Amino acid sequence: MVSRRYLLVAATLALVMSSGAQAETIQVTIKELAFAPADIHAKVGDTVKWVNMDAVAHSATTKGGWDVTIPPNKTASAVMKKAGEINYHCRFHPNMTGHITVTAP
């Protein structure tokens, strides 16, 4: 006979598995005045985390959108809130550019 406890565990597991993918954190390294990788894919709800390995501050700046400053040897992040194609650049070094494709979760 199947125990009540077993059924509860199975039901909970099914619920967890059907709730979809967990939000992820996608890491972008900044080194020698460049974003690497410069082109990433994310889902709505995911976090993009920039890791600045340079001795100078950088930013991930979008036109009319979010603006994240990443101090030297520090990290900073932004949550992707809506689907779309995002072009970003560094406020301090405009030739530093990156791109994020954000898709529905």
Binding-site ranges for Cu ion (CB under 5 A):
58, 90, 92-93, 96
Q: How far is it, in rounded angstroms, from Cα 38 to Cα 88?
A: 10
Q: Are 88 and 62 in contact (CB under 8 A)?
A: yes
Token pair recorded at residue 74: 């520090």
- Residue with smaller CB distance to Cu ion, 6 or 92: 92
Comparing CB distances to Cu ion, the nearer of 20 and 94 is: 94
CB-wise, 40 or 70, nearer to Cu ion? 70
Query: Least distance (Å) from Cu ion to the CB of residue 90?
Result: 3
Number of Cβ within a 10 Å radius of residue 10: 11
CB of 48 to Cu ion, least distance (A): 16
Write down the least CB distance from residue 59 to Cu ion, Å.
6
CB of 78 to Cu ion, least distance (A): 16
Question: The sheet that has 47-52: what strands, in order across it?
Answer: 35-36, 25-30, 47-52, 75-79
